[in-house]
Structure formats: structure tokens, C-alpha cells
Amino acid sequence: MLIGGSEDNVLTALCHRVNLAGRIIERVKPADFSTQTYRTIAAAAIAFYEEYQRPPGMHICDLLETAIRASNEGRFMSEILRELERQASAARRGLCPRQSRQAPRHRRDDKGQQRTGRAAA
């Protein structure tokens, strides 16, 4: 069973990472996730991958629209999906999730040129 941050990372990759989703599907099943909401998201992502040979990306929200509206956990599921997209976006920019929450700041590089970066943690 997956736990904690690894569960979030695996679900993010399963839903958004073209280079990882196929390998994750070979090793992880929906039952490996700790909550029913995570299992539902994982099952939808796996079904999409099996049909189209790519992760669903933002289509995951469309795939789960009925579940979001029908269940008491819909709000929680929406929050998870937003966080997965935020993490995927941060990964595409080469940032860890903690860095992606920080506001950009201006700093100077070694040659005195101003550039935009991220604030130190």
C-alpha cells in the first residue's frame, strides 16, 4: 500500500507524466491507494491510459465529473485533482512542490545581471 507523499507523487505521475504512467500501471493498482477517493482517481487514470496509451492529464477532471457531483467526497476529490495538476505543473517547470508555492523574486547572478528566481526555502 502507498502512503503519504509517495501516494500523491504516484497519483500525479499516473495522471500527468507520459514517461512514467505506463511503468506505474505495471506496478500499482487502485487497491494500493489508501482512500476510496484516491482509488477512484487511479482507476479512471488507468482506464484512460489503457484505452489511449497516455495519461489523462487535465481530462481526469472530465472523466470524474459524475463522481465529483454524485458523491459526498466530490469536494475532496476536486481538491486532490487541483493539487495533482499543481504538482504536475511544478514538475514541468523543474520545481519541487514546495518551491512552486513560493513567489518569484528578483536577484542578481554571478555577473550582476538581474534575473527572476524563486525565494529560498
Mean pLDDT across the chain, nearest whole number? 81
Each residue of 55-95: pLDDT tens digit? 999 899 999 999 899 878 888 999 999 999 998 888 777 75
**CA gap 93, 34 in Å, rounded:** 29
**CA gap 76, 54 in Å, rounded:** 25
Per-residue pLDDT, 13: 94
Each residue of 40-60: pLDDT tens digit? 999 999 999 999 999 999 899
**What is the extent of the structural domain holding 47?**
4-118
**Grid cell of 3 as nine digits:** 502512503
DSSP reduced 3-state for 35: coil
**pLDDT, greater one: 102 or 8:** 8
CATH code, 107: 1.10.860
pLDDT band at 96 (very low <50, low <70, confident <90, very high): low
Q: What is the mean pLDDT of residues 101-121?
A: 45
- Count of domains observed in the chain: 1
pLDDT band at 113 (very low <50, low <70, confident <90, very high): low
Give me the DSSP letters along 40-96. Answer: HHHHHHHHHHHHHSS--TTHHHHHTHHHHHHSTTHHHHHHHHHHHHHHHHHHHTT--
Output the pTM of the full model.
0.73
**CA gap 117, 109 in Å, rounded:** 10
Of 18-27, 66-75, 108-117, the poorest mean pLDDT is in 108-117
